[in-house]
Amino acid sequence: MFWAAVAAFAVGVVCSTRVHASPSAPPAGSAEETIQGSVTVCFAPGTTTPESCSDKEVTFVVVSFLEVGQVTWDNKGNACAAGVETISVPGSAFTLSQPATLVGKLSNYDPKTQSGDGSGIGYSGGKCNGAAFDSTGAAVRSNAAFHFVISRDKKRLDSVLTSLSVTDQEVGAFSISSTAFKQ
Residue 25: the pLDDT is 53
What pLDDT is recorded for position 132? 96
What pLDDT does residue 75 have? 86
Tell me how far CA of residue 167 lies from CA of 74, 139, 146, 170, in angstroms.
27, 10, 18, 8
Return the number of other C-beta atoms located less than 10 Å from residue 175's C-beta. 13
**120/79 Cα distance (integer angstroms):** 9
The yes-or-no verdict on residue 10 having pLDDT over 60 is no
Helix (H) or strand (E) holding 8: helix 2-15
- What average pLDDT does this structure show over 9-14? 39
Q: With 50 as the cut, is the pLDDT of residue 87 above it?
A: yes
**Per-residue pLDDT, 40:** 93
Q: Give the tens place of pLDDT for each residue, 89-117.
A: 988 888 999 888 999 999 998 888 989 99
Q: What pTM was computed for the model?
A: 0.81
Residue 137 sits at φ, ψ, to 5 deg, of: 75, 10
**Closest of 97, 65, 72, 29 to residue 177, by C-alpha:** 65
Domain borders along the chain are: 2-182
Would you state the pLDDT for residue 27? Answer: 59
pLDDT digits (tens, 9 = 90+) for 124-166: 889 999 999 999 999 898 899 999 998 888 889 999 999 999 8
Can you give the pLDDT at residue 24? 44
pLDDT value at residue 168: 79
Proportion of the chain in helix, strand, coil states, percent, rounded to 5: 10, 60, 30
Q: Which residue did the predictor score with more confidence, 71 or 11? A: 71
Letter for the amino acid at 140?
V
| pLDDT confidence of residue 130 | 94
CATH of 2-182 given 2.40.160, 2.30.230, 3.30.1360, 2.60.40: 2.40.160
CA-to-CA dists, residue 178 to 45, 65, 112, 134, angstroms: 32, 12, 22, 24
pLDDT digits (tens, 9 = 90+) for 37-82: 999 999 999 998 888 888 889 999 999 989 999 999 898 889 999 9
